[in-house]
Structure 1
Amino acid sequence: MLRHEFQPGRLIAGTALVAAAVVYGGDAGGVWDTPWFVVIPVVVGGLCLAGAVGLMTGQVRRRRARRVP
């Protein structure tokens, strides 16, 4: 298997979307009752956080690439 770079932004985005799926899955399964608007802040907040982390990761990688001869 080829190695690849770790991308923390994608990890955070995936975790937020899986959390939203678990909330809706629990609601559909009858485990708990979830209003429809509860998942919106989870998804939007997770995607915003993932974008910020992705930008920061890109900046760090560019800075390290410039420093290494």
Structure 2
Amino acid sequence: MLRHEFRPGRLVAGTALVTAAVIYGGDAGGVWETPWFVVIPLVVGGLCLAGAVGVVTGQVRRRRGRPATEGTDPADHARTRGG
């Protein structure tokens, strides 16, 4: 049984940000030379792609009748917060 539901948008965002970190890490370590403006399109494009994947995932889950996110009911939130 899964501990949490799979969220592919977060996977895409994480991959883009880790890639940016590796690029800057290689530059800082002297392995290669990276211009400062190279990572901006990677991060912005990765976050936009992650948003699009998140929207598509939400639509697919709604269409299949599964809840898009758990815990969005205010009563659920109050129960978990002790209120």
Code of the residue aligned with 2:51 in structure 1: it is G
Report the TM-score when normalising by structure 2: 0.76
Q: Of the two, which has the highest radius of gyration? A: 2
Aligned length: 66
SS of corresponding position for 1:36: coil
Report the TM-score when normalising by structure 1: 0.91
| Structure 2: gaps (5+ residues) | 67-83
Quote the residue 2:79 is aligned against.
Answer: none
Quote the residue 1:23 is aligned against.
Answer: 23
Moved over 6 A (4+): none
- Check if 1:63 corresponds to 2:79: no
The structural deviation recorded for 1:3 is 1.4
Q: Which one has more relative contact order, counting CA pairs under 8 Å at least 6 apart?
A: 1
Code of the residue aligned with 2:60 in structure 1: it is V
The structural deviation recorded for 1:2 is 6.1
Question: For the residues of structure 2 that align with 1:34 and 1:23, how far apart are their CA atoms?
Answer: 7
Offset from partner CA, 1:14-40 (integer Å, 9 cap, x none): 000000000000000000000000000
What is the RMSD computed on CA atoms of the aligned residues?
Answer: 1.5
Q: Please show how residues 1-69 of structure 1 align to structure 2 within 5 Å.
A: 3-65=3-65
Larger proportion of helix: 1
